[in-house]
Chain A
């Protein structure tokens, strides 16, 4: 295995394995469990022979589903025996042929008071579905829902949904389809619970007050900070451009390359390395992975000589190690410093450009910190204006960071010099060097470039043999 040494692979594989197999710490209380385990019967039928065991099982499945989805529901289906005294003021004939809706509701309410349906003692959060089946006239079956004082909010179920369920059930009861009617009501409530239009969350007065206090001011503060950041960028740009206008005489292709690129970075070094390989000053070792410092004297420009000196300092018997190849940007840093110093001395590059870049990036980080501080109160108080401002702030900060990190370091003198550069004064080879930085970048990143050439350019950029 080349480069990727086995111990490293094993250590990382072990870490990945641990990450994969160690289960997420998810010791969360199951809030539904109390509803699922509630003591009230799922379906209670009186008398017990009113429905077959199979029918009751079907009803129970639906009630079980309702409870699993968070509704503390209990269903009671009763047929009032003729031996009982009149119920809630209903006459015996009413009990035989069907109670009115009002009497059924009153019956359900009183039943819920007598035998609470609730997820835990005293919770008063249950729902009782009471179906009263007349003895002689099944078409007169009625249904009512009784709810506790803490039943609502109940997921996506609203009080209106119980009225709609009653309407649907009653229409089937009137056709004598009592079982179908009960199932229809249970289906409807279960469907609404999961898929009904959601109910707007409410929040405490305190959070409402907080929203009033911070929503607009917080958004204004955020947008103001964004504007200040942009203003700071404009100031920085004007500041670091300088005022010089004299076009310097360009005689060094590496200076022109750096001017073309906008700064002195490793791409300029790559241009030098490429030129040195072509000139035979550097040579690829037989395996094609590392360089040999072959002919130091073939380096012509001062920058090339500085690069060669850096490489020679790192080479062992003239050969660069794979480690050094991967660290070419670091190894050749002193050479770039020399070139940059020359450009600064000639007024082409702003010596403070990096400082200004970091100042701008620091400004962005400050803005992002402010946004981070606003996030929790904004979400807690549902302050949508602040959220919008935060989104804008993040976009602005990202754009500014992008601009600052790619900002040209040239002074106006440097820009004027670049404009005045006359390629015809250079040899064709030096013209190539002067124009090489972006071209090399294009080759290294372009999949259309032939692999051997592109790989070597990538290697010269310190990216390893890719």
Chain B
């Protein structure tokens, strides 16, 4: 049994003469292309560093020239939430407009952004959207340039980290080629680029969701209660940033329930094992772990926000009511962005991802290839669609405990929940969908390169 270093490429689990992988000829044929799929740790580390550098450099570029967004005033204003956590019964956490308006994580992140860059959390007063820009400027609602840039720089790094995590996720599902493709398309996506250069909360959500998919993949590879708790914490973290990620507990719970059911059925089929508790699987079963994620998420959601403490359920409903009212108001005001039915939302999503915010279109246009940019702008969306279909199909083939199934379920569910609840097609609503799109895009590329490499190896083997 040879398990050391590179010896894990197939022979470890085969009797002599039965190995199907790691043939010297295959390794030789792969050549430089095989480097991308051989995945030595050092190369991976270098790729991750490169993705981070490219992401940071790209997002830092033009960061000062990016026009001010009114929401930046609000997020920077609430940076003091972070330091006010030291006084959980202080007036900051009263039942009031600002506390009802947004869950707190985005504000905490802005607080961290300011503190780690040597600034304090005492910033501007909040922007009043009902008033004109001049009125807000006169009343000190425009953030100081230093605060604004600190928030933006922080998000630029967070956005680049999200790209690194996308690389890791796709690489762990397919190979490094897919990981690089997914990460680069995420970095150069115009929607994410724009938001990574703003001091808003959406970039944190992107990173959170990427980490969630990664941890879910790791969980299937090696389930543990700690990873399940981590999944619940990330869902709660995402929910305490932008609500919709809370819905991601539903697919995880569904998979968990199926796992328990499957395990219960398996155990009842065993002939040599004496069953306790009517054959229910023990707590070490990954199904129970996944079933715990909504509880962990809700607990984190409440604990992270002192506003909720006096009446967790009632005030959570207040937050939801407020959000619903806001969305109705936005729907009423923004006539041109209305998407009254899920079909309209789907159409808006296809237009946004396939045209307005298409990475392919943006890259080609930036290379002065506008003539073909429009014609092929759907490329990333179509490849991503192929990727998600492949990932789901492979996941269903491999079974409940496959990394592909859990990753696909998270990608599909996050996209669906946004489309079903959108009603107003604000560009920021598409950000989580773009993230999932790029993971699926990378998956398709990785899968494709794997197939090509295998065919090349097989062809050369036959030729030899």
Contacts and interface: CB of A to CB of B under 8 A. Distances in A.
A16 B258 CA distance: 12
B266 A445 contact: no
A450 B26 CA distance: 14
Nearest to A9: B258
Nearest to A253: B1
Contacts, number: 207
Chain A CB count within 10 A is highest, among B12, B90, B217, B262, for B12
A172 interface: no
Contacts of A439: 3-4
B459 interface: no
B99 to A, nearest CB: 9
A195 B41 CA distance: 51
B68 interface: no
B64 interface: no
A429 B3 CA distance: 11
Contacts of A457: 12-13
Interface stretch (B193-201, B358-366, B383-391, B395-403): B395-403
A433 B272 contact: no
B21 A450 contact: yes
B contact residues, range: 35 or more
Interface string A170-212: 0000000000000000010011011101111100000000000
A329 B269 CA distance: 15
Interface stretch (B202-210, B313-321, B330-338, B431-439): B313-321
A242 to B, nearest CB: 27
A117 to B, nearest CB: 22
Given A199-B94, A200-B91, A436-B3, A187 B135 contact: yes
Given A15-B257, A450-B8, A278 B22 contact: no
A193 B250 CA distance: 38
Contacts of B90: 200
Nearest to B413: A16
A445 B8 CA distance: 12
Nearest to B5: A439
A331 B272 contact: yes
Contacts of A69: 97
A8 B221 contact: no
B221 A199 contact: no
A382 B266 CA distance: 51
A454 B14 contact: no
Given A8-B261, A445-B221, A327 B89 contact: no
A204 to B, nearest CB: 14
Interface residues of A, number: 83
B9 A327 contact: no
A13 B88 CA distance: 40
A440 interface: yes
Interface stretch (A19-27, A92-100, A130-138, A219-227): A19-27
A89 B271 CA distance: 102
A284 B19 CA distance: 11
Interface string A227-243: 00000000000000000
Interface stretch (B110-118, B124-132, B182-190, B237-245): B124-132
Interface in B242-256: 247, 250-251, 254
Contact of B314 (A28, A271, A460): A28
A453 B172 contact: no
Interface in B205-220: 217-218, 220
Contacts of A324: 266, 269-270
B25 to A, nearest CB: 16
Contacts of A380: 310
Contacts of A284: 13-14
Contact of B273 (A16, A283, A333, A463): A333
Contacts of A450: 8-10, 21-22
B134 interface: no
B12 A278 contact: yes
Interface of B: 1-4, 8-16, 20-22, 39-41, 44, 87-92, 94, 96-98, 125-126, 128, 130-131, 135, 139, 168, 171-172, 217-218, 220-223, 226, 247, 250-251, 254, 257-258, 261-263, 265-267, 269-273, 284, 286, 309-310, 314, 317-318, 320-321, 396-403, 405
Given A12-B257, A457-B13, 12 more contacts: A8-B261, A156-B97, A191-B139, A195-B125, A323-B269, A327-B270, A379-B309, A380-B310, A432-B2, A447-B172, A458-B221, A464-B401
Interface of A: 1-4, 8-9, 12-13, 15-16, 19-20, 24, 26, 28, 65, 69, 155-156, 187, 190-191, 193-195, 197-201, 271, 274-275, 277-280, 283-284, 310, 313-314, 321, 323-324, 326-327, 329-331, 333, 379-380, 382, 384, 387, 402, 429, 432-433, 435-436, 439-441, 443-445, 447-450, 452-454, 456-458, 460, 463-466
19 contacts: A16-B254, A187-B131, A191-B131, A275-B1, A284-B14, A324-B266, A330-B267, A331-B272, A433-B1, A443-B3, A444-B221, A445-B218, A450-B9, A450-B21, A452-B10, A456-B13, A463-B401, A465-B399, A466-B398
